[in-house]
């Protein structure tokens, strides 16, 4: 588990925590390998499916962290992002999305497209 403060404690501002955990894939809230949400106290929770290769876990964790940051920075809620992700997966299963769009963030209607593409560059 990684737990870090987003802001310097000396500022006097309320601390914001980030908690990243790996979990079995079947424990995710829906069919995904990475998920994020904010707790009632403002803690950013990130859950990553367990991988045999630690680099994959780190890449997915970075992806989720950037996605949460981009969504929050652009005033999108986790609920909006998850709703879009679920819609995208349904469209993909029904063959309504081109094969070249293999992730929700690549779709032009995604609320945070740029951040996903930036994360792909970092991988």
Q: Which of 46, 88, 49 is nearest to 69 (CA)?
A: 46
Average pLDDT estimate for 86-103: 88
Q: Dihedral of CA 69/73/77/82: which sign? A: negative
Q: Return the pLDDT at 116.
A: 54
Q: Report residue 10 as tokens.
A: 């000396």
61, 51 in Cβ contact below 8 A? no
Q: Return the pLDDT at 103.
A: 81
| Cα-based distances in Å from 61 to 109, 112, 123 | 23, 16, 11
- Give helix then strand counts, H and E, for the chain: 3, 4
Residue 121 clears pLDDT 60, i.e. is over it: no
% of the chain beyond a pLDDT of 90: 39
Residues in the chain: 123
Q: How far apart are the first and last CA of the chain?
A: 21
Q: How many CB atoms lie within 10 A of CB 54?
A: 9
Listed by start position, the domains of the chain span: 2-122
pLDDT tens digits, 18-36 = 999 999 999 998 888 999 9
- Predicted TM-score of the model (pTM): 0.75
């Amino acid at each position: 588990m990684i737990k870090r403060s987003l802001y310097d404690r000396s500022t006097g501002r309320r601390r914001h925590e980030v908690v990243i955990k790996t979990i079995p894939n079947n424990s995710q809230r829906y069919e995904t390998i990475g998920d994020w949400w904010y707790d009632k106290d403002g803690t950013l929770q990130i859950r990553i499916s367990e991988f045999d290769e630690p680099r994959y876990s780190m890449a997915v964790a970075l992806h989720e962290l950037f996605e949460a940051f981009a969504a929050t920075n652009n005033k999108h809620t986790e609920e909006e992002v998850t709703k879009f992700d679920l819609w995208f997966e349904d469209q993909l299963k029904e063959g309504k999305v081109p094969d070249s769009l293999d992730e929700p963030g690549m779709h032009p209607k995604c609320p945070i497209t740029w951040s996903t593409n930036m994360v792909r560059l970092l991988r």
